[in-house]
Amino acid sequence: MEITNYQNLVGYWWYAVDSNGYIATFNNAGIGEMPPCLRQDKGRYDEMVNAWEDYIEKNLPIRGSASAGIITPSAIRTIERRGIAMEEYGGDARRDAERGFFVYEAELDHTSKYYGKFLRLFTPNTPLRLGELDESVKSKLLLVTKPVLFVDKDIFSSEEIVSLFSTFT
């Protein structure tokens, strides 16, 4: 079964490995593109997400702190509205980065120049590498098809999401 309604404010996320073996999580926030290999097979998508959620909770403790990435004007407004410190911003996304993931999310603010693009929200100070993972989840990662380094990449366009992440490991 194909995922046909992926741009309906229901967030889909996936996990990918870059050319250096670093791991990232991507969240389309209900408006961003999805890699074709995920859209084409909802069963495979569900299998990936379930395996990762289970693995993360059981096997990936906090490894260290995380640095904030691109903070958009809408994120600043959210921080100010909630009255929180920058160190408290990010919730689950920050926690994923503290576990070692680079964290990307599609920009929701339609007035932003980044609308629909995937922005790096957090960078782990102690990145997780492919070699540290159990075999059970390695097959649940998307591979980049061209040289890409998450440590150097702040923004992914819709075109890159469609063309770069086209296969599972």
Q: Is residue 65 part of a domain?
A: yes
Give the tens place of pLDDT for each residue, 91-133.
788 899 999 999 999 888 788 888 889 999 999 999 999 999 9
* Domain region containing 114: 13-168
Q: Which structure tokens are listed for 93?
A: 């996304």
Place of tokens 């096997």: 59
Q: Domain tally for the chain? A: 1
Distance in angstroms (rounded) separating the CA atoms of residues 126 and 165: 24
Q: Is residue 39 part of a domain?
A: yes
Q: Which structure tokens are listed for 134?
A: 């159990």
Give pTM, 2 decimals. 0.88
Q: Is residue 5 part of a domain?
A: no
Give the tens place of pLDDT for each residue, 12-45.
889 999 999 999 999 888 888 888 888 888 888 8
Distance in angstroms (rounded) separating the CA atoms of residues 141 and 126: 19
CA atoms within 13 A on the CB side of 43: 1
Task: Give the bridge partners for 105, in sequence order.
Answer: 27, 119
Q: Is residue 1 part of a domain?
A: no
